[in-house]
Amino acid sequence: MRDLIRFFRAVPPVPSLMVGTFAIVTVVSVVAVMVDASFAAGTLKAVLALQLFSASSGFMTHARRGHYDLLLTRGDDRVAIALVQWAVAVAPGVTSYLAIAAAEALATSGRIVTGLTSGSIAAVAVVSTAPWAFTVPLPRFAAAIGWLAAFSLGAAVSRAFAIPSAVVNLVFPLAMVGHQLHLDTLWPALGIALISMCAALFWIRRVSIPLEAAQ
């Protein structure tokens, strides 16, 4: 496992520009939250929106271009490779999220922390897993772009229809940030996230990985 972590630190699935963006957003957000804790929900949503793109890393695109040949040819388990790649891809977003939540906890002296509500934790779980899983066979950022299109479409039609909270949370998980929610409104989004991760890992284990030329 250590070898895999070292490998993905040398061949990161997240562009350095995105990691730098996370760092800037984190610093600005922490300062804002320390000044006024009411900024917490907005800053956390910004981090999760960026996390959509960080998680949409496109595992198979890199594998087919030979980026992971060293690991695949020496016999490392494909699921282990994929899980470490996923963990490295989402680590900047999770770290940023936890830093802002910690700053809010300090600023509010232990009162209810926006980042630690059930809805916020569920939102982190969904945007850190489902986009990665959906983008496994697709180019980088594909799931994030598609999901943002769904967000926009959902926002456009939401005022005209009575949409159940569970469906809203599934299409727009950022809406869960800051809310204490019951399982009946959380399970569709969490269920899709879990099923998509399991399906993606199963597919990675079984699929052949022919090399292709870089575009």
Q: For 12-48, how does the pLDDT look when each residue is reduced to its tens digit (9 = 90+)?
A: 888 899 999 999 999 999 999 999 988 999 999 999 9
203, 186 contact by CB (below 8 A): no
Who contacts 84 (Cβ-Cβ below 8 Å, separation ≥6)? 1, 4, 5, 8
CA gap 45, 127 in Å, rounded: 11
Position 212 scores a pLDDT of 63
pLDDT at 87 over 90: yes
Q: What is the pLDDT of residues 102-113, one digit of tens each?
A: 999 998 876 778
CA gap 87, 26 in Å, rounded: 19
Position 215 scores a pLDDT of 47
Q: What is the pLDDT of residues 136-192, one digit of tens each?
A: 999 888 888 888 887 777 666 656 666 777 777 778 888 899 889 888 888 888 999
Which spans in 67-182 are helix H?
A: 69-73, 78-107, 118-135, 142-157, 165-171
Position 171 scores a pLDDT of 80
Q: Determine the average pLDDT of the residues in 119-134.
A: 94
pLDDT at 117 over 70: yes
The rounded mean pLDDT for the chain is: 87
| pTM (two decimals) | 0.88
Nearest to 55 by CA among 103, 97, 27: 97
Q: What is the pLDDT of residues 195-213, one digit of tens each?
A: 999 999 999 988 887 766 5
CA gap 78, 60 in Å, rounded: 11
44, 114 contact by CB (below 8 A): yes
Q: What is the pLDDT of residues 37-47, one digit of tens each?
A: 889 999 999 99
Position 159 scores a pLDDT of 62
Who contacts 45 (Cβ-Cβ below 8 Å, separation ≥6)? 174, 177
pLDDT at 72 over 70: yes
